[in-house]
Structure 1
Amino acid sequence: MITSTPVHSQANGQAESSNKIIVNNLQKKLGTKKGKWAEELPFVLWVDKTKSKNETRQTPFSLVFGTEDMIPTEMVIPTSRSCLQNPETNNQDLADDLDVVDELRDSTRIRMATYQQRITKSYNKNVRVRRFQVGDLVLRKAFQNTTDPKDGKLAPQWQALYNIEAEVGKGVYQLLSMDGRILPKSWNAVHLKLYFV
């Protein structure tokens, strides 16, 4: 069972999720020149850090440093933003930006909570809750480590017949095997299917 924790991002899918975005952007940038990924990686990472995200509407750079980022070409080719910078007042402008960075982060937190609620609502409208009663006969989902590797793709999707012993949480059940042995760990209803006699 995978435990979600920010300490071990590789265990809860966060690393794969962010890496997927980086790999997709690299594939778009490289086209047919796949061997040159090392030269393009810094540019792809820069874009990932400086592009505003849907859930926050802010760039990660601005949330950390309290100011908008400038791309390197803006330092070489004059733009309206770089031309309007006044070196004398720049330090004061940066200090003012740091004063309001907490407000920016708070508004971003509120925006993220709203975004997460929308995503949760969208996800939950398609979820079918499976409820079982004590005494119901169920089949347990077969996992890769519980099936015979010789069966290959033809391995059964559901295995063994169990009896619901008790509901230990919302949608979590204690199972009893047909020979009267209680399984050591409880099972989520997602991995169980009602067996019809």
Structure 2
Amino acid sequence: MAYPQGNGQAKVANREILRVLHARLDHMGGSWVDKLPSVLWALSTTPKEVTSVTPFQLVYGGEAVAPVEVGVKSDRVQHYDEGNAERRLMELNMVDEARAKATIQITAYRQRMKQNYNQRVIPRSFQSKVQIKKQRPLSASPLTVELRP
């Protein structure tokens, strides 16, 4: 892929950002510039339905620590020690596996969506050179259309 717009990822991401910004600004008002960092944080730390993990986890290989947790000294921050470095390196080595698993889940999700869509489609077949009469208003005569391959 030469650029992210090639498969629509940038459009989808921008649409999602705008959707959340509109929701926040409608309720609280204010400037979108002030709300953008919190919107981006929320989107990157919210688990996605398809992959069941956060985008932050897929990129960095671990859960994000919210800035509030650092200031309030949550359990996760209080019980952190430097001895966890080995475990953290092991988690980072498993990031590629997590990404591969997410890719498989996305593929399975797309297949389920495709099957669901295809179940609702009504198959129709047309033969070449068959004449179909279209109904026109009473003031006009019937129109004959010929289908060709």
Q: TM-score range by the shorter chain?
A: 0.7 to 0.9
Indicate yes or no: 2:34 matched with 1:51.
Answer: no
* Aligned residues between the structures: 140
2:61 paired residue number: 66
Partner-residue secondary structure (3-state), 2:31: helix
The one-letter code matched in structure 2 to 1:49 is S
Distance 1:8 1:137 in 2: 46
Between stretches 77-86 and 49-58, larger displacement belongs to 77-86
Task: Provide the residue aligned with 2:35 in structure 1.
Answer: 40
2:2 equivalent to 1:19: no
Match of 2:106 among 98, 105, 112: 112
Of 142, 164, 185 in structure 1, the residue corresponding to residue 147 of structure 2 is 164
Shift in Å, 1:75? 1.1
* Gaps in structure 2 of 5+ consecutive residues: 134-142
Q: Which residue pairs with 1:184 in the alignment?
A: none
Larger strand fraction of residues? 1
Alignment match, 1:133: 127
1:78 corresponds, among 73, 81, 87, to 73
Q: Distance in 1 between matches of 2:116 and 2:79?
A: 44
Q: Which runs of 5+ in 1 are unaligned?
A: 140-159, 167-197
2:43 maps to amino acid? D
Of the structure 1 ranges 96-105 and 124-133, higher mean CA displacement relative to structure 2 is found in 124-133
Q: Secondary structure at the match of 2:122?
A: coil
Q: TM-score, normalised by structure 2?
A: 0.77
Superposed CA deviations along residues 132-166 of structure 1, whole A, max 9, x for unmatched, are 21113579xxxxxxxxxxxxxxxxxxxx9763322
Q: Return closer, same or farther for 1:161/1:17 CA change in 2, 3 Å cut-off.
A: farther
With normalisation by structure 1, the TM-score equals 0.60
- Hey, what does 2:94 align to over in structure 1? 100
CA distance in 2 between partners of 1:32 and 1:107 (Å) = 37
Structure with greater helix percent: 2
Give the letter aligned to residue 119 of structure 2.
Answer: K
1:8: Cα distance to partner? 6.5
Counterparts in 2 of 1:42 and 1:165: CA distance versus 1, 3 Å: same
| Identity of matched residues, % | 32
Which 4+ residue blocks in structure 1 deviate beyond 6 angstroms? none
Cα displacement (A) at 1:14:
4.2
- Structure 1 window deviating more from structure 2 (117-126 vs 30-39): it is 30-39
Structure 2 distance, partners of 1:94, 1:161, is 72
